[in-house]
Amino acid sequence: MTRKYFGTDGVRGRVGEIPITPDFVMRLGHATGRVLAARDTARVNIKGSERPAVLIGKDTRISGYMMEAALEAGFSAAGVDVCLVGPMPTPAIAYLTRALRLQAGVVISASHNPYYDNGIKFFSSRGTKLPDELESEIEAALDEPLTCVPSAGLGRARRIDDADGRYIEFCKGTFPFEMDLRGLKIVVDCANGAAYHIAPHVLHELGAEVTSIGTEPNGLNINQDVGATAPAALRAAVIAQGADIGIALDGDGDRVMMVDAMGNLYDGDQLLFAVVRSRLRQGPVAGVVGTLMSNLALEHALGELQVPFVRAAVGDRYVMDMLRQKGWLYGGENSGHILCLDRHTTGDGIVSALQVLSALREEGGDLLQLLGGLKLYPQRLINVALSKGFPWKQNPLIDATLREVESELNGCGRVLLRASGTEPLLRVMVEGQDSLIVSRAAEKLAAAVREAVSS
């Protein structure tokens, strides 16, 4: 079944436009509630008459208030109870859903997108992304009329007041008990997003001297010139503060980038490699999953360590799917999504940063030394606006230019064209050993895409 609304990471779009409208969001809550209620009945709830319950969290976008209320109404009409936690990182919802034994978790967030976008993503009772078949089942339920259960069966809503404290303790628990962060000066950038009241406390309670930026959300400034997608603010703060290290999260707290004392930036590929090298000190690593966007240097470096590496489609859900298929524990994306399944069921920016920090504590040195000589190959990514439904795969101009570029790289690089799963963009990526050749090739291919789209 082709999914109409669900993309690679839930439902996402511009606020006020389908599907991010109050009426659609209420219908989505109702459809999800009906599906969950049917499954809960099917498994014969041993507690008898208790209703299924879901957890709803959000980031700091102003539209979150509207969407939270709409979802709550839809779930209640379907006879599903709702637990509210307010602004919380996406991975916190995954953890709390599992810890509280709820049927599902819902996150209202558009992750790294600007404030005028928003989205809804779901977690299962196990704290993992919903499988494709369940999302398809929810989409099918959206076509059914919105009805209401009898008043006695309506879902109730309650707020969980200690959610932030629970999650802070969970994050700290992923850091070795015998270690601390005393003596480290850390700058943390929370992107004016969902982790603004979480990440600084985690680092402080582990003993670090913490300076925080991006911790003053106003509903309109999430990801604006701060966070993992705009690391210049972190680099400047680290240098100005004379800090040892910097940590940048994105708006919903599931991505991380890091900066060393000199202001050098380390992306998801590099941080994943640092974690894997650290784990190898404890024993064998069965393998690592990256994506089509993972830097070729990561694959080569892991090969030198005799660690198998495979590529999944872009999107942390696809990395997770492949990890499950192979029974492996570690994977990620260069954008900063890192999966350490020995610590959490989903990508978590704070937890991932703590794994890197624990490796630094154990091995000493700095981030550059921790990478063991890994140097990423030059990679140029250009986003080209794409009208919906444009058949770029069958375009003669794009196809001809692609062949020319691949010929110019002469086997010393690779090219990737990929439509974004969350935005109307075609991502043009070229990678190779020579930065000048890479840059020229990317510009040439992007220009061809623009010309094809405009004509």
CATH number of this structure's domain 379-454, picked from the four choices 1.10.10.10, 2.60.200.30, 3.30.310.50, 3.20.10.10? 3.30.310.50
What is the distance between the alpha carbons of residues 123 and 54, in angstroms, rounded to a whole number? 10
Cβ neighbors of 344 (< 8 A, separation 6 or more) are 91, 94, 95, 127, 174, 351
Q: Do strands 104-108 and 53-58 pair parallel, antiparallel, or not at all (unpaired)? A: parallel
Can you give the pLDDT at residue 455? 81
Cβ neighbors of 301 (< 8 A, separation 6 or more) are 273, 372, 373, 374
Question: Does the CA dihedral 347-348-352-358 come out positive or negative?
Answer: negative
Question: Which residue is catalytic, options 63, 76, 109, 111?
Answer: 111
Can you give the pLDDT at residue 204? 98
Cβ neighbors of 264 (< 8 A, separation 6 or more) are 367, 368
State phi, psi for 85 to the nearest 5 degrees.
Answer: -125, -5
Please indicate whether the domains covering 181-263 and 379-454 agree at the CATH topology level: no
Nearest alpha carbon to residue 122 among 11, 236, 249: 11
Can you give the pLDDT at residue 10? 87
Q: What is the CATH number of domain 181-263?
A: 3.40.120.10
| DSSP calls for 366-377 | -HHHHTTT--PP
**Residue-by-residue pLDDT tens, the chain, 455 positions:** 467 888 877 899 999 999 999 999 999 999 999 998 887 654 433 344 478 999 999 999 999 999 999 999 999 999 999 999 999 999 999 999 999 999 999 999 999 999 999 999 999 999 998 888 889 999 999 999 999 999 999 999 999 999 999 999 999 999 999 999 999 999 999 999 999 999 999 999 999 999 999 999 999 999 999 999 999 999 999 999 999 999 999 999 999 999 999 999 999 999 999 999 999 999 999 999 999 989 999 998 999 999 999 999 988 889 999 999 999 999 999 999 999 999 999 999 999 999 999 999 999 889 999 988 788 999 999 999 988 788 999 899 999 999 999 998 888 888 999 888 767 899 999 999 889 999 999 999 999 999 999 88
Q: What is the CATH number of domain 267-376?
A: 3.40.120.10
pLDDT digits (tens, 9 = 90+) for 93-107: 999 999 999 999 999
> Is the distance from CB of 314 to CB of 418 less than 8 angstroms?
yes
Instruction: List the chain domain ranges.
Output: 11-163, 181-263, 267-376, 379-454
* Contacts by 400-406, CB closer than 8 A, 24 or more apart: 400/448, 401/444, 401/445, 401/448, 402/445, 404/444, 405/430, 405/441, 405/444, 405/445
Q: Does 11-163 carry CATH code 3.40.120.10?
A: yes
Task: Calculate the CA dihedral of residues 294, 298, 299, 301 and round it to 10 degrees.
Answer: 180
> Is the distance from CB of 421 to CB of 9 less than 8 angstroms?
yes
What is the distance between the alpha carbons of residues 345 and 129, in angstroms, rounded to a whole number? 9
Q: Which residue has the tokens 């291919």?
A: 445
What is the distance between the alpha carbons of residues 6 and 24, in angstroms, rounded to a whole number? 13
Instruction: Give, as one character, the DSSP assignment of residue 123.
Output: E
pTM value? 0.90
Cβ neighbors of 333 (< 8 A, separation 6 or more) are 268, 290, 291, 293, 294, 314, 315, 316, 319
> Active site includes 435?
no
| In 239-372, beta strands by DSSP E | 245-249, 256-260, 265-266, 288-291, 309-312, 330-332, 338-340
